[in-house]
Structure 1
């Protein structure tokens, strides 16, 4: 669409222009008001008695001509930016438009001479809510259509009177480019020749009430950098180099594999780094510490940085704050090449009320329910999705697939599942309506989660879905064909709350709370669990993990190390938020991220923080090398209490077994005293045991009450010296 000076000869003979039949008054008014469902029937070229009518809508143009075989024919102005003429032709020819503005001329293809760029199959799947690659049908897609390059725009807005494309290429005025309605699908479509990657755009919607407003594209795959809100035309050219990772990632079921997760807030992990700069540092750091996966707090575009990504407006766009979509692909690729899986926080429970985004998208409740009792989330000031509407379910299910297929994401941690499952979540009496059976369960949300999980597992082998679900809902990780929700793993919020409650007490009082540490084994096999120490536990006055511990700094660090040792040995996978791997004492802040200076010997001569980081590295190393710690996480036969009731001693001792029956003995001692000659029963057939890990080791900053030599079994038991505030792992020699 570049401006250029051009001079074409005037036509002669049969191409002489005649006045065009006038538009019907109602059609004209609706077209100019942006409220016409079929602008292609009025604009472009159409056969009539006496020839072909050409009509163009070009606001602010001084003149418009039709160019046929190098000859131009001027169109007469009808006013209001409309230009038309009747040419005595037998058929519609190939033609372009020559549009003259005050600063020059443009020779362009006429958008209104093109057939729809969406097929009947796409529209049928959209109507049915079954288009599993919805992003390839809706949004802005650079394509070559009828031999011409440009961008196909398509948007779902079933309640709109009209939709137009506005962008920087129209000076944000949508008059020139009204879209056509594709019938009962509720989809509006327009192919704009000459518009390519990098173009910024929005949809100008006219509601059924006549209101007109600009909306960002719900399916945009790239956006402007916030606080700007426009959508950006994009297309990926990234060439992946992680095929080896993709081929083997699903070789072992996730619940039978090592799974140790480092949770990261990308914008603050190393403040100011882009996706590509993060790709140089994050994989190396995570690999050194031995985590098998990273979990990224929400990457999808969000307008408000301090929401940490949980207030999503661009569900299909990685946040542009850190780079382009292909830059994000580069980061995922780098992690895969380092042997690290990538889990992404995904937020399908709600969306913000920003008037330029999804809220009341076409002037009516669309993505949100029409019933106010179900539309608004009382805790977060957001709208909830209408899970009962097939197109909305499709939008979300396809979005889950999109991240897995387009960005090679290995897992989706689904945020706030409990808020989706219950109609009365955070609502008082009278603020919610029961389901058709009179219950409090949101049956539409249940159906959505089941559909999402089944679809993701079918389309993306090796991917795991993870539920953040804080209630005792039955069957969160049960397969959908058995009536479950179909998740692969579930955050164990009960273990997290109970264990943090226990560890926050002074050691002298812990005996009264002993069951808070052991109760998790009552339900440990009811689901496939992850043990999460996430960002939620180290913000908003909850204190960092080490600061939750009682006592002086030395005791807090010892408790911190002992707790991590207990956590890594407990049945279930592990998740640890950034900064907690080196016992950062301050709460996390998204403004400055982890306190990396604590690891600098120039600032901290003692190995306080470096020692804890080294412990996490060794925990992961021994964990990965010891199948007893992960192979039977969901099998009750893989666990046996040795001492579960030693409340007076603040001791917890248990055995973990691998598939061949080889044991690991884990002993956690949460008292500051040294206990000598402590008897612990062990299985027969293993005469010698050695320390595999001791959190009291001097290299971790402990008092170094260790046992470097193998320990013999006597009368079916080991007699150990238990170090203070420490966890010890022992394995047979």
Structure 2
């Protein structure tokens, strides 16, 4: 993985308005503060129109009977410590102090009558009344925004409402959030505590729902070491003092509050008070939608998308991926066509990928991230597609469109590290929570980020459920897991004394191993047809071995060794290539140790590495010919293929996330557009022939599917090998990495393979920009093999005629 720049830290202090969210207007004094946008609608059976102040009671509403405050008694006095913690937002059980609770005549303050004690916290209000069972009762002002009274004659809690008045004469009527029972079930809490909640996003975060007959949103957050948690948002002008306190649900560390009337579209954060009393305004770790960066608030959301990819989902797993054609076009969505939204991309991307014949697209990370130049590899909201391109349902629309075009979707997933922004995951509850508590395990030395604590069950659950979430909620067909090597080794990029050995004194991170095994096993069990792919750059044994055999359980692994060695070879001048011949043949020594993908990814065309065509030696014609020959060799080599955008038309410049591919190179207005279109035509033909030719993919992981025809042709810069399908039908691939035509070149083939061979692909064809040297007629097999004409800097594929 390419080192990423550390993300910036734009979080504001907790007492200020959250960046990008609706801030409170300036006030002369608290008493003059505008009425908070109350957390309920006038009609609790219908969600409040979002981002609009709560209206007062409708004009013409008949006055209700009133009971003066003097005719009631205050509720029993709060304990001073409880009162202080409640007002400071540090109470673990605000529902025990607020809301309605039966009292008898002997309980609490002397002289308190029996009935129902109601207490409300409404800072900045001038008065609060309870409307219950046809009567209205004014509450006593206890100071500091607390109001209370005992409603005589009531023994059970009715469906009461609150009438709140403010200094400017405005008033709102709303349901009381503190009259509701917990909206999270015991089974959910048990599974969270065990770290086994495989649909965690349905238990934590913001969930619009109907609870006890009332529409609203349940807010839940895991913060086990917090003194207290309050909900703040646009509905209360981002004021922590008037935030809604959540209750702690026991030893699980989960805090919960059901807020009637709040619905989709509301902006919110959590004000978290840490063990030391420090306060921070935090985005929801489980937010399924966020503001567009640089704004950082979370947004209440629910999906209303209707999928139309039933056929694709039903059959995507019919053939195991390692026995199927699998060629991948890697895409950075924001820069592929800069300025396009998810829905606009859904019109152009499926068509383009289909025309080029790729079976899959791989999307660089789409989870929300604050720092655009990180390309998505510094994630702050693991459950939210980036808002830069649209809503979560808009992203579903894009995936659906790709599926309906017959294209699978892989996304980059980044569980190796996360940024230090103090509004996100770092020290979330005032302590190291998602990160490891030991700094030697928490700090990532390369990227200025933090590493997850894979040994903590709740953290593993957060990540495992996230992998399932993308596959289940967005119909993703594969996860490419970023930077696996940095997870597996405790000494990754660390010097002696900077890392802590495991219990056996070794450098293996057993916690990370266990996490990866659990993630892979869970995804494969829950999401049939999905493949997981490891970016793992070392010789760790068993990356693609099943977990029940002690492996990590990935379906495929990026072959970084092949990528490095082959690029070294093709970057050399042809006269020097004979000295590097083994750079190309060495891959077959280990080709069947794992299930491999051959990646020419974004990492190979950035940071001074130059584009693929620019890596090649020679003049412009030779560079393009070298690239064509290389791609022909790559597509024929055992393993799956991956090519980064822009390389399919021989872009000469490095990729820039600010500008994306140089599409103008293929436009009619560019004088050399034909050169670039020729490369596009070759990639499309490679994919067409590849997909239709089982010898090229059916035995990718089976040594019986490969045989050298010429592996020692160093002096001629020639490689030739045979690929076989499950029935033994062959394909002969020959690559000439020398800029001269080789006439009557003899190659060995099995005597019983075929009597005649015909070209099915030649990268030197004129339509691809080549010199059009061909084997026009079928080539006959002779006792000493076959004799071919090899075009200059070209790859030729032949099959039995």
TM range (shorter): over 0.9
Q: 1:74 to 1:319 in 2, by over 3 A?
A: same
CA contact under 8 A between 2:751 and 2:783: conserved in structure 1? no
User: CA, structure 1 residues 12+210, in 2 after alignment: closer, same or farther (shift >3 Å)?
Assistant: closer
Among 102, 116, 128, the alignment partner of 2:182 is 116
Residue 16 of structure 1 and its aligned partner are, at CA, apart by 4.3
C-alpha distance in 2, partners of 1:20/1:699? Answer: 87
| Cα distance in structure 1, aligned partners of 2:698 and 2:492 | 36
Offset at residue 606 of structure 1 (A): 5.4
Per the alignment, residue 44 of structure 1 pairs with 99
2:457 is the counterpart of 1:402:
no
Alpha-carbon offset, residue 90 of structure 1: 3.0
The residue number in structure 2 matching 1:67 is 131
- Bigger RCO (CA 8 Å, 6+ sep): 2
User: Following the alignment from structure 1 to structure 2, what is the Cα–Cα distance between the partners of residues 543 and 16?
Assistant: 83
Q: Is the 8 A contact 2:268 2:298 kept in 1?
A: yes
Look up the SS of the partner of 2:120 in the other structure: strand
- 1:148 aligned to 214, 222, 228, which one? 214
Write the distance in 1 (CA, Å) between the matches of 2:588 and 2:221.
50
Question: Pairwise mapping of residues 699-710 of structure 1 onto structure 2 (< 5 A)?
Answer: 699-710=767-778
Structure 1 residues 683 and 76: CA distance shift in structure 2, 3 A? same
Aligned residue number for residue 167 of structure 1: 233
The alpha-carbon deviation at position 4 of structure 1 amounts to 1.3
- TM-fit CA distance, 1:62: 1.5
- Indicate the residue corresponding to 1:130 in structure 2: 196
2: distance between equivalents of 1:632 and 1:70? 77
Q: Alignment partner for residue 532 of structure 1, among 595, 599, 602?
A: 599
Aligned to 1:674: 741
Partner in structure 2 of residue 559 of structure 1: 626
1:717 to 785, 788, 793: 785
Which of these residues, 80, 97, 101, is aligned with residue 25 of structure 1? 80
- Please give the residue correspondences for 1:42-441 in structure 2 after superposition, counting only pairs within 5 Å: 42-49=97-104, 50-91=114-155, 92-101=157-166, 102=168, 104-174=170-240, 175-441=242-508
CA–CA distance in structure 2, aligned partners of residues 524 and 434 of structure 1? 32
Residue 389 of structure 1 and its aligned partner are, at CA, apart by 0.2
The CA deviation string for residues 323-356 of structure 1, in whole angstroms up to 9 with x for no partner, is 0000000000000000000000000000000010
Matches within 5 A, 1:484-495: 484-495=551-562
Residue matched to 2:18: none
In 1, distance between residues paired with 2:169 and 2:751?
A: 92
Q: Is the 8 A contact 2:543 2:551 kept in 1?
A: yes
1:518 aligned to which of 575, 585, 591? 585
**Do the aligned partners of residues 15 and 707 (structure 1) sit closer, same or farther apart at CA in structure 2, a change above 3 Å counting?**
farther
Spell out, residue by residue over 1:141-183, the C-alpha distance to the aligned partner (whole angstroms, 9 max, x if none). 0000000000000000000000000000011123341000000
Distance 1:54 1:5 in 2: 22
Q: CA deviation at 1:5?
A: 3.7
Deviation at 1:103, TM superposition (A): 5.2
| 2:248/2:255 contact within 8 Å kept | yes
| Contact preservation (8 Å) 1:597, 1:603 | yes
Which 10-residue stretch deviates more, 317-326 or 206-215? 206-215
Aligned pair count reads 733
Offset at residue 13 of structure 1 (A): 10
Aligned counterparts of 1:58 and 1:605: Cα–Cα separation in 2:
70
Q: Distance in 1 between matches of 2:673 and 2:173?
A: 72
Partners of 2:70 and 2:361 in 1: CA distance:
67
Q: Does 1:631 align with 2:695?
A: no
Shift of 1:21: 1.5
Which consecutive unaligned segments of at least 5 residues does structure 2 have? 1-40, 42-53, 105-113
State the 1:86 CA deviation: 1.0
Q: CA deviation at 1:89?
A: 2.3
Quote the offset at 1:9 in angstroms.
2.5
Residue by residue over 1:658-700, the C-alpha shift from the partner in whole angstroms, topping out at 9 and shown as x without a partner, is 0111100000010001111000111233111110000011100
Q: 8 Å contact 2:288–2:385 — kept in the other structure?
A: yes
Deviations 1:74-107 (Å, cap 9, x if unpaired)? 1111111111111112322220001112252111
Q: 2: distance between equivalents of 1:369 and 1:421?
A: 15
User: 1:16 touches 1:87 (CA, 8 Å); kept in 2?
Assistant: no
> Residue deviations 1:473-519, cap 9 Å, x none?
00000000000000000000000000000000000000000000000
Quote the Cα distance in structure 2 between the aligned partners of 1:606 and 1:96: 70
Aligned counterpart, 2:756: 688
Give the Å deviation of 1:601.
2.5
4+ long deviations beyond 6 Å: none
Kept after mapping to 2: 8 A contact 1:57/1:176: no
Contact 2:666 2:673 in 1 (8 A): no
The residue matched to 2:136 in structure 1 has which SS? strand
The 1-side partners of 2:545 and 2:672 are apart by 50
Tell me the alpha carbon deviations over residues 339-381 of structure 1, each in whole angstroms, 9 at most, x when there is no partner: 0000000000000000100000000000001100000100000
Q: Write the distance in 2 (CA, Å) between the matches of 1:441 and 1:602.
A: 56
1:280-331 per-position Cα deviation (integer Å, ceiling 9, x unaligned)? 0000000000000000000000001110000000000000000000000000
User: Structure 1 residues 15 and 525, CA, compared in 2 at 3 Å: closer, same or farther?
Assistant: farther
Distance 2:680 2:169 in 1: 64
2: CA distance between counterparts of 1:279 and 1:524?
36
Instruction: Name the counterpart of 1:3.
Output: 55
Secondary structure of 1:192's match? Answer: strand
**SS of residue in 2 equivalent to 1:332:** helix
Change (3 A) 1:252 1:432: same
Deviation of 1:716 after TM superposition, in Å, equals 4.8
2: CA distance, partners of 1:451 / 1:238 = 30
SS at the partner of 2:485? helix
Structure-2 residue corresponding to 1:656: 723
**Whole-Å separation in 1 of the counterparts to 2:701 and 2:465:** 30
Aligned Cα root-mean-square deviation (Å) = 1.1
1:62–1:100 contact (8 Å) kept in structure 2 = yes
For 2:174 and 2:72, locate their aligned partners in 1 and report how far apart those are by CA, in whole Å: 20
Separation in structure 2 between the aligned mates of residue 369 and residue 445 of structure 1, nearest angstrom: 12
Q: CA deviation at 1:203?
A: 0.3
Q: In 2, distance between residues paired with 1:710 and 1:437?
A: 63
Q: Which of 457, 462, 479 is residue 524 of structure 2 equivalent to?
A: 457
SS of residue matched to 2:304: coil
Q: Give the match for residue 12 of structure 2.
A: none
Distance 2:516 2:303 in 1: 29
**TM-score normalized by the length of structure 1:** 0.99
The answer as to whether partners of 1:58 and 1:176 remain within 8 angstroms in 2 is no
Contact 2:69 2:139 in 1 (8 A): no
Q: Distance in 2 between matches of 1:28 and 1:19?
A: 15
Secondary structure, in 3 states, of the residue corresponding to 2:123? Answer: coil
Shift of 1:417: 0.1
Q: 1:176 to 1:216 in 2, by over 3 A?
A: closer
Give me the whole-angstrom Cα distance separating, in 2, the residues matched to 1:293 and 1:723.
31
